Amino acid sequence: MSTLTAPDLAAIRRWRTSVLVVFGLAGVGVASWLSRLPSVRDGLEATTLAMGVLALGISIGSVAGFAVASRIAVRYSPRAVIRASLGVAMGGLLLAGVSGGVLPDYPLAMAGLILLGLGNGTCNVTMNVEGAAIERALRRPVMPWFHALYSIGAAVGASIGALAAALGISPSVQIPVVVAAMAVTTVFATRHLGTEPHARPGAIRRPRRAGARPGSRAAPCSSAWSSWACRSPTAPPTTGSPSRWSTGTAADRASRRSRSTCSRSPSW
């Protein structure tokens, strides 16, 4: 195992600091809005149920962000992905903040929270991948520090929101100030992130069901009548009198229904 040189360690530490700040920014963004929920509710004149549905927008956006991140991480550099995702999150946070004060509008708030969740979810995946890469480079566990910075960022965002509420500052004033500070920090903090896309993982071979031919995804035929249906889909029923071939017995009807099942590829 080779020993890391002083320049290598310095570069890795700068890289680690950048990722730490990104984790902190992700926490600040979400907590800045959540801490102003009472003011937002008053501005929108929304019920408790409506606010619960509104908060669901973050979850919807986050799930979409998780799916998007796995695709763009192999096409674009971590620096580009994190900057873009934080930009989307800040744009959504800005919309959500303004909709709770200057422009009280429920659909606008929902759209903002979906964007906030989308950006935050995409950034979450990418910054965790970067954290894992830093662990491999340093050859020791450091992921708890990254997650601790997320919690510290959330505490900072909540404290700013509480202080603004105590001073009577509207969310439509506080949130844009927070977004501006986050934008400036993002530009400087992400300078030492990677500039090459992450390696594309190898293709995963899905398991083949027992009884299926190599290269075929058709379902195996397990019973006697289904075997007949798979072997000879056009053959008439073998049981019952000729006058009953049009309808057949219960086993014959099951055989005919199974033809499409046996000839189709199942969902894996």
Least confident of 106-120, 176-190, 207-221: 207-221
Q: What is the pLDDT of residue 98?
A: 86
Mean pLDDT, residues 184-206: 70
Mean pLDDT, residues 64-82: 88
Q: What is the pLDDT of residue 31?
A: 92
Average pLDDT, the chain: 76
Q: What is the pLDDT of residue 153?
A: 93
Q: Where are the alpha helices (DSSP H) in the chain?
A: 6-34, 37-44, 48-72, 78-99, 106-138, 143-166, 171-189, 224-231, 250-263
Mean pLDDT, residues 18-27: 93
Does residue 158 carry a pLDDT above 80? yes
Q: What is the pLDDT of residues 130-149, one digit of tens each?
A: 999 888 888 888 899 999 99
Does residue 209 carry a pLDDT above 80? no
Does residue 219 carry a pLDDT above 50? no
Give residue 222's pLDDT band: very low, low, confident or very high (50, 70, 90). Answer: very low
Residue-wise over 18-51: b if at least 16 C-beta within 10 A, else e?
A: bbbbbbbbbbbbbbbbebbeebbbebbebeeeeb
Q: What is the pLDDT of residue 246?
A: 39
Q: What is the pLDDT of residues 39-62, one digit of tens each?
A: 888 888 888 888 888 888 899 999
Query: What percent of the chain lies above the pLDDT cut of 90?
Result: 35
Give dist(CA 44, CA 96) in Å, integer.
11
Give dist(CA 89, CA 30) in Å, integer.
9
Model confidence, pTM: 0.68
Does residue 236 carry a pLDDT above 90? no
Contact assessment for residue 109 and residue 45, using Cβ atoms and an 8 Å cutoff: no
Give dist(CA 104, CA 210) in Å, integer.
59
Q: What is the pLDDT of residue 228?
A: 35
Contact assessment for residue 36 and residue 93, using Cβ atoms and an 8 Å cutoff: no
Contact assessment for residue 130 and residue 69, using Cβ atoms and an 8 Å cutoff: no
155 contacts: CB under 8 Å, gap ≥ 6: 27, 31
Separation of first and last alpha carbons in the chain:
42
- What domains, with CATH codes, occur in the chain? 11-192 (1.20.1250.20), 224-263 (no CATH)
Mean pLDDT, residues 61-79: 88
What residue has token string 């708890």?
A: 144
Contact assessment for residue 65 and residue 124, using Cβ atoms and an 8 Å cutoff: yes
Q: What is the pLDDT of residue 213?
A: 53
